[in-house]
Amino acid sequence: MRMLEMTLAALDLLVLIYFFVIGKSTSPRKITNLLIGAGLLTIPVLQLFLEGYRWQLVPLYFVTLILLASILLRLFRPVPMFKKRRVPRYVSGLALSGLVILSAGLAAALPVMDLPKPDGADAVGTVTFDWTDGSREETLTADPGDKRELVVQVWYPAEKSSGEPQFLFPQDPQIFHNYISAFAEGLHLPAFALDYWKYARSHSFQDAPVLPSPKPYPLVIISHGLGTSRMLHASQAENLASHGYIVAAIDHTYSTAATAFSDGRITGFTTELSAEDIYDKARVIGEIWTQDVKFVLNQLDSLNAGRIESDFTGKIDMNNTGIMGHSFGGATAYNAAYTIGKIKAGINMDGTLIDLDQDQLNKPFMFLQSDASAKITEALDDPAVPEEIRERITKETQIIRHVALHGGQIIHIKGTAHFNFTDMQFYSPLIKYLGMTGSIDGYRGAYLVNRYVLDFFDKYLKGGSGELINGPHADDPEIDFQKL
């Protein structure tokens, strides 16, 4: 809960105790009632003005109004309430206390998200581009005239700013409503349930000037998971940017929960995958995403060369480019590293590989694995697992082993589940109880992911020593270096 939210909840509980416990046998002074009334009026006004309304606090607002009305009655008719009616007094007191606790619980379970602060020395700027690839037909829509259009957000080292960091989600009311409606539909929730996302702030400054540097900054591309969004990797992008990287995260259109274009259009998830032909369809979608990466790299090269006007001219080190991705985006990172020559190194965060014919990757590549992924080979000994699945696991294991023998790494982070490699873990503590994240503390898990991602790219894109990825580190007992 935010500060004024906690203050209002605490005030309501204190007033309830005063009304129904302390004040029941005394004749309250007028000045006491005036002070209580002033607090019940001032705190919610400040909370609404400074922090903003959110639906989780509706029960709290209701209790505050009831208490304020009670105070006004006491001031204008100074007779103790429920003087001769103990049962109604206690029942109403418990009911109102229950509403305060309910509201506090909802606010804590669905908090205004607090992303981890980047731990690098540089401030972080961000800018978002809408780019259309005129050479590619859009195959995920029914309109034969559509071209492939992408939203790409770039984070970068920036000159320090005295302003406020930007909000994480679109702030135009109509665009925001349409955006969360699309997101909520995928989660099978009403749109109002995500309305409070409008208060979530990043640690980045919109359109801040790029920090001057004697050398251009290495580039890292981020690819999200199927049906999620680039927004689930904002903290990873910010952390890399704070350590001297330019980071570009792609929204793979029609495969996100929602994508907001600058003209107000919103697209949702329309990618079709079925159990009958999932591997064939996955290869098709994977190729689209890999071509997205290739196109974005070309656009960034144009920014760097000045063919597209921007503040990035001469500031992107296109010769030191890496890629990372989660889940389906992790498989895309592997595909892109395999097929795109200018990519020097890549990371797959808990993603199953798509194209098992790409088995001779000889570039530095790191696999970050959750508990479930680290145990996947156990399925080979389970007769209940279909033969086709066991064959794919065997082939994928051979590919990962080849990568490990050619400078790659396989790291299992103990206590993690699939979404510990995204910002999803910061949206609600309930995520853990749904099994989407593991037993590890979310901020600790994010810290470890950021720590090893940075060390990997520092080694292969900046010529660092790779102190962490070279072997076990005493400060990180959760890190398990896998040997296949």
Segment 207-256, tens digit of pLDDT:
999 999 999 999 999 999 999 999 999 999 999 999 999 999 999 999 99
Band of residue 158 on the pLDDT scale cut at 50, 70, 90: very high
For residues 385 and 453, the model is more confident at 453
Instruction: Tell which residue, 380, 383, 400, 381, has the closest CA to residue 391.
Output: 380
- Sorted by sequence, the CB contacts under 8 Å of residue 414 that are 6+ apart come out as 371, 440, 477, 478, 479, 480
- Sorted by sequence, the CB contacts under 8 Å of residue 176 that are 6+ apart come out as 169, 170, 198
What integer pLDDT is reported at residue 34 of this predicted model? 87
Query: Of 25-29, 37-41, 208-212, 479-483, which range is least confident?
Result: 25-29
φ and ψ at residue 482, rounded to 5 degrees: -85, 145
Looking at the domain that runs over 123-481, which CATH code has it been given?
Answer: 3.40.50.1820
CA distances from 150 to 58, 194, 303, 338 (A): 38, 24, 16, 22
CB 231 within 8 A of CB 152: no
Q: Which residue, chain included where needed, has tokens 């005295």?
A: 162
Section 398-411 average pLDDT: 90
| Rounded distance between C-alpha atoms, residue 133 and residue 150, angstroms | 8
What integer pLDDT is reported at residue 87 of this predicted model? 63
| Rounded distance between C-alpha atoms, residue 75 and residue 49, angstroms | 27
| Element (DSSP H or E) covering residue 205 | strand 204-206
| Rounded distance between C-alpha atoms, residue 352 and residue 250, angstroms | 19
Give 149's strand partners.
Answer: 132
φ and ψ at residue 206, rounded to 5 degrees: -65, 125
Band of residue 82 on the pLDDT scale cut at 50, 70, 90: very low
CA distances from 261 to 270, 293, 342, 454 (A): 16, 18, 28, 30
Section 324-342 average pLDDT: 96
Whether the pLDDT of residue 385 is over 90: the answer is no
Q: How far is CA 65 from the centre of its chain?
A: 36
Measure the CA angle with vertex 264, ends 174 and 271; round to 5°: 105
Band of residue 411 on the pLDDT scale cut at 50, 70, 90: very high
Burial classification of residue 326, based on how many CB atoms lie within 10 Å of its CB (0-12 exposed, 13-18 middle, 19 or more buried): buried
What integer pLDDT is reported at residue 291 of this predicted model? 97
Residue 159 has a CB neighbour count (10 Å cut-off) of 13
CB 60 within 8 A of CB 102: no
Token pair of 247, please? Answer: 């980071």
Give the side-chain half-sphere CA count within 13 A for 180.
20
For residues 70 and 167, the model is more confident at 167
- Sorted by sequence, the CB contacts under 8 Å of residue 397 that are 6+ apart come out as 377, 484
CB 55 within 8 A of CB 196: yes
Whether the pLDDT of residue 102 is over 90: the answer is yes
Q: Which residue, chain included where needed, has tokens 């001219």?
A: 313
Band of residue 313 on the pLDDT scale cut at 50, 70, 90: very high
